[in-house]
Structure 1
C-alpha cells in the first residue's frame, strides 16, 4: 500500500478530490473483503464467489447512495442564496402591488362618490341644482353613529345656516353652524332634528320623524341607527316596506328619500300610530355630501 503524503505548506492551495479519495477507499475495502474471503474459505472450504460479490455490491450501492445524497444537498446549499434573492424580489413586488391596489381603490371610491353626489342632485328641484355645493365630511361626533358632522365647506363656498345636507342615498340632515371654511350639521339621528315626511304610495299619508319622540323602547331602535316618528292620523294605512320621503312641509324640499318603514306600532292609550324607519343613509359611514340652500319659507 502506498501511503499518501501531503505537503503542509501547500495544503491550503490544493483542493482534495472527494471522488478520488472515495474511490481509493472503495478499492482498499474491496481488496480487504476479497482477502478475508479467500482466507476464510481457503483449505477445506471452497471459495464462494457469490457471497463476495454480494458484499461488494452492497457496499458499492451504499456508497453510491451516499454520493447521491451529498450531491443533492450540495446543490440545495448552492441554490439557497439564489432562492433567498428570489423571495426578497417577490416581497418587493408584492409591496408594490399592494400600493397600486390602494391607489386604484381610492380612485374607485372617488368615482363612486362623484356618482353618488350626482345622484343626490336628482332629489331636488331644478331651482336648487345650480346652487348645490359638494363637500367632504372632515369630522364627526364620538360614537358609532353620525349624529353631528363637520363639513369641509363654509360661508366662502356659499354654505348657509339651515342648508339641507344629503348624499346619494337620501337625506342626511341640516346645517346649524357656519364658519368661513367649515360648517357643522346635525343628522336625522340627532334629538334636535325633525323632518316632516309622506308615504310615497300616498302623499296624503303624512307624519313627522323626530328622535325626541315619546315612543317606548326607543333607545333600542336608536342603537340600531333607526329613525322613528308618528303619523298625523292613526287611520293612515302604513305597512312595513312603505317608502318614506320628505313631504315639503318646513325647510326640506319635497321628495328627498328618507328610508323605508320597518315597523308600525299602534298605541291605543295615546291614540298614536308610531313608525320605525330604516334610513337609506348609512349613518355609520358618510364621506361626501351635497349641500343646498334652505327654503325661504318666511
Structure 2
C-alpha cells in the first residue's frame, strides 16, 4: 500500500517536470521539449484514455446500480399487485359461492337453515364424509339435512358442541328415498363412490311401469324417514329395465359438486318435527 503511494507521487512529480520543461521557450531546451513531447503526449493520451475508461466504467456501474434498484422496486410492486389480484380473485370466488348459497336459501324458504363452513374431510378425493364448524351450541342435531350447490348434499350423522359430521349422498352407505318431480314416481338414490368417478350415483327400485324419464328432476320424497321432501338431488339418466323384468334402474347426475365443498346450509329442523317448526309434517 505504501509502495503504491510512492510510485504515484513519483509519477506525478515526473509529469510535472516534463510539463514544466515543455513550457519553457528556449532554443537550448528545444531538443528536450521535442523529446519530452514524444514521451508526454502518448502518456497524456494514455492517462486520458484510462481516465475516460474509468469514468465510463463508473458511470455504467452507477447506471447498473440504478437499474438494479429500479428493477427491485418494480419487482416489489409486481409482487404486491399479484398478491392483491389473488386476494381479489379469492374474494370474488367466495362472493360467487355465497351468492349461490343465498339463492339456494331463497329456493327453500319453507325450511329454516343455518350456514356453516366445511373445516375437514375424510381422506379421499371427494367430500363423502366431512366436518362443519357448527354443532350442538348452534342448534345442530343428528339427521338434519345438509344442502349446497343447488340441492341435497347429505345428512348430519354426529354432533359435537362446536362441530358436526356430515355423510354425503355419494358415500357408499348412503340411501335416499327420491321421486320424480314431474310424475311423483318413487325411486332410491344410492351412494356409490365407484360410480361417482364418472360423476353419477345409483338410481334403482323404480317400478317398471313408472314414468321416470331421462333428464327428470329427482327430489327427496315424502316417504323418506329422515330426508325432508322436495329437495333436489339430481337428474335421472341411463334408465333400463332390470333382469327381473319388474323394476328399472339407472343413474343420477347430482346437482351438488362433491369435489370442493366449502360452505353448506344445514336445515335446522328434522323430518319428525323436532329441531324447528313442523313444516315438513304438513308436507307429508
TM-score by length of 1: 0.69
In structure 1, how many angstroms separate the alpha carbons of the residues matched to 2:223 and 2:168? Answer: 18
Does 1:206 pair with 2:206?
no
Does 1:184 pair with 2:165?
yes
> Which of 97, 115, 124 lines up with 1:143 in the alignment?
124
SS at match of 2:196: helix
Structure 2: give runs of 5+ residues left out of the alignment: 1-6, 13-37, 46-52, 274-280
For 1:81, the equivalent position in structure 2 comes to 65
> Which of 83, 97, 102 lines up with 1:118 in the alignment?
102
In structure 2, how many angstroms separate the alpha carbons of the residues matched to 1:249 and 1:122? Answer: 24
In structure 2, how many angstroms separate the alpha carbons of the residues matched to 1:8 and 1:152? Answer: 80
Residues 1-298 of structure 1: pairs in structure 2 closer than 5 A:
8-9=8-9, 76-126=60-110, 128-129=111-112, 132-200=113-181, 202-211=182-191, 220-250=194-224, 251-269=226-244, 271-292=246-267, 293-296=269-272
Higher mean C-alpha deviation, range 266-275 or range 141-150: 266-275
1:264 to partner: Cα distance: 1.7
Structural RMSD (CA):
3.3
1:252 to partner: Cα distance: 2.1
Alpha carbons of 1:294 and 1:8: their partners in 2 closer, same or farther (altered >3 Å)?
A: same
In structure 2, how many angstroms separate the alpha carbons of the residues matched to 1:205 and 1:73? Answer: 88
- Answer yes or no: is the 8 Å Cα contact 2:207–2:246 preserved in 1: no
1:113 to partner: Cα distance: 2.9
1:109 to partner: Cα distance: 3.0
1:266 to partner: Cα distance: 2.2
Alpha carbons of 1:199 and 1:177: their partners in 2 closer, same or farther (altered >3 Å)?
A: same
In structure 2, how many angstroms separate the alpha carbons of the residues matched to 1:73 and 1:265? Answer: 84
Alpha carbons of 1:229 and 1:74: their partners in 2 closer, same or farther (altered >3 Å)?
A: same
How many residue pairs were aligned? 237
Alpha carbons of 1:93 and 1:204: their partners in 2 closer, same or farther (altered >3 Å)?
A: same
In structure 2, how many angstroms separate the alpha carbons of the residues matched to 1:253 and 1:139? Answer: 25
In structure 2, how many angstroms separate the alpha carbons of the residues matched to 1:289 and 1:262? Answer: 26
Map Cα deviations across residues 175-215 of structure 1 (whole Å, 9 max, x no partner): 01111111111000112221122223x2322211013xxxx
Alpha carbons of 1:282 and 1:247: their partners in 2 closer, same or farther (altered >3 Å)?
A: same
Alpha carbons of 1:276 and 1:10: their partners in 2 closer, same or farther (altered >3 Å)?
A: farther
In structure 2, how many angstroms separate the alpha carbons of the residues matched to 1:143 and 1:98? Answer: 32
SS at match of 2:183: strand
- Answer yes or no: is the 8 Å Cα contact 2:135–2:161 preserved in 1: yes
- Answer yes or no: is the 8 Å Cα contact 1:154–1:180 preserved in 2: yes
- Answer yes or no: is the 8 Å Cα contact 2:183–2:212 preserved in 1: no
1:243 to partner: Cα distance: 2.1
